[in-house]
């Protein structure tokens, strides 16, 4: 989900302005760098198209297949991602607050340029494994697709390549005795990406279910179904996907042209309303940030407030009224001035507000990126809304 030295992953998610609506997409595994906002096609700020984009083949599946039967799963309504750069602090939070988590998603695997899946130095960390097993927490490591779309598009380029990727992922889940996997394939912002991505998620869901495993995906938070991207919420859920994690952050992002709320409440409210309208809210979790972003720096949310001048900060901002990304209601948006300049972050109060909004739309629960150094009361605020 995240590239950069930030979380050692790409929390990059281009945002997307379509039909006069900006669809920002955060990355669980996306994180504080790179834009979540992609202008409408033809906009002057639109990313350049690759020289020779891969064109995924349309899957030859039956017209209206019945969703594969899912294995009996535990609740999975409160979870979180353990990032690579913050693994020590994230592991400590998991151990100290294990009763909060129904599932845990450590960033342990990466898709390489040749299409293979590689682990990292943190893979199968025994503290995480034994804690999850001892407390009945679903262990579903995250597989990150890379900091750009090239490797993912190679996987989506043909039915054979999709099948090979599915087989490799299932082998990891079975051989390592995981409860399932979390798939985080980001940066797919072209219409030609959609058929291949939907086919991959649908086939991987069925293959994991056949082995008694579950699948969740980290997916951009998009307020409207703009078809110029891979992320067809309805189609992947129709294929039987167990859980969809919305990356509800990085509306403003590390390295962006200006600072502002990480996830305006009005934006997330529109995303959640869309999910509810599609009838998939009961399998969707809203993801929120546990970090703060300044001009060229970031830190865990629980550490940011200690940098605020006089240890005080504001929770109200008028920034969104003139934000070029869209006039969404900001909601509670903690921010302050530090010795390194201004910073926006999340705290327990803003987390609680977002959780109440998600619950109002019938979403299944909450997740967050990344575990470690949470603000005081942050987990309690989420648990109070989703007990």
Q: Which residues fall within 8 angstroms of residue 208, CB to CB, at 6 or more apart?
A: 169, 170, 173, 180, 181, 214, 215
Picking from 60, 305, 42, the residue whose alpha carbon sits closest to that of residue 199 is 60
- The predicted-structure confidence for 308-364, as pLDDT tens digits, reads as follows 999 999 999 999 999 999 999 999 999 999 999 999 999 999 999 999 999 999 999
- The predicted-structure confidence for 175-185, as pLDDT tens digits, reads as follows 999 999 999 99
Percent composition of the chain: helix, strand, coil (DSSP 3-state, to 5): 35, 20, 45
Q: How many CB atoms lie within 10 A of CB 288?
A: 28
Q: Angle 164-167-172 (CA atoms, 0-180°, nearest 5)?
A: 130
* pTM value > 0.75: yes
- The predicted-structure confidence for 45-78, as pLDDT tens digits, reads as follows 323 322 333 333 333 334 444 454 444 345 899 9
Q: Is the pLDDT of residue 230 over 50?
A: yes
Cα 257 to Cα 22, 167, 249, 295, 329: the distances in Å are: 16, 41, 16, 9, 20
Domains, the chain, in order of start with CATH, read 4-51+76-385 (3.20.20.80)
**C-beta separation of 379 from 307 below 8 A:** no
- The predicted-structure confidence for 259-295, as pLDDT tens digits, reads as follows 999 999 999 999 999 999 999 999 999 999 999 999 9
Picking from 97, 174, 98, the residue whose alpha carbon sits closest to that of residue 137 is 98
User: Which single residue is written with the structure tokens 């109060």?
Assistant: 349
């Amino acid at each position: 989900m995240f590239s950069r030295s930030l979380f050692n992953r790409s929390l990059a998610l281009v945002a997307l302005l379509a039909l006069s609506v900006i669809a920002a997409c955060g990355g669980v595994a996306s994180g504080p760098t790179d834009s979540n906002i992609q202008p409408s096609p033809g906009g002057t700020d639109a990313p350049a198209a690759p020289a020779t984009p891969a064109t995924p083949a349309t899957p030859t599946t039956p017209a209206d297949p019945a969703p594969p039967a899912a294995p009996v799963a535990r609740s999975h309504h409160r979870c979180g991602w353990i990032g690579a750069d913050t693994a020590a602090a994230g592991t400590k939070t998991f151990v100290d607050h294990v009763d909060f988590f129904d599932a845990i998603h450590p960033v342990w695997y990466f898709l390489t340029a040749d299409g293979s899946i590689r682990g990292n130095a943190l893979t199968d960390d025994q503290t995480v494994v034994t804690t999850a097993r001892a407390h009945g927490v679903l262990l579903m490591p995250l597989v990150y697709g890379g900091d750009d779309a090239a490797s993912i598009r190679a996987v989506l380029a043909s039915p054979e390549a999709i099948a090979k990727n599915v087989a490799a992922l299932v082998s990891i889940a079975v051989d390592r005795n995981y409860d399932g996997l979390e798939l985080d394939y980001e940066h797919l912002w072209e219409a030609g990406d959609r058929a291949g991505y939907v086919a991959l998620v649908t086939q991987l869901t069925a293959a994991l279910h056949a082995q008694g495993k579950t699948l969740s995906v980290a997916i951009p938070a998009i307020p409207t179904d703009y078809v110029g991207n891979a992320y067809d919420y309805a189609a992947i859920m129709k294929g039987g996907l167990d859980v969809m994690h919305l990356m509800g952050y990085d509306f403003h992002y590390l390295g962006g042209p200006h600072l502002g709320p990480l996830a305006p409440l009005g934006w997330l409210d529109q995303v959640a309303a869309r999910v509810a309208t599609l009838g998939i809210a009961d399998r969707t979790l809203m993801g929120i940030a546990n970090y703060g972003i300044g001009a060229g720096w970031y830190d865990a949310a629980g550490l940011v407030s200690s940098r605020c001048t006089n240890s005080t900060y504001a929770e109200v901002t008028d920034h969104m009224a003139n934000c070029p990304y869209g006039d969404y209601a900001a909601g509670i948006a903690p921010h302050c001035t530090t010795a390194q300049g201004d910073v926006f972050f999340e705290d327990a109060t803003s987390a609680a507000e977002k959780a109440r909004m998600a619950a109002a739309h019938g979403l299944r629960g909450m997740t967050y990126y990344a575990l470690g150094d949470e603000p005081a009361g942050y987990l309690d605020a989420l648990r109070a809304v989703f007990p």
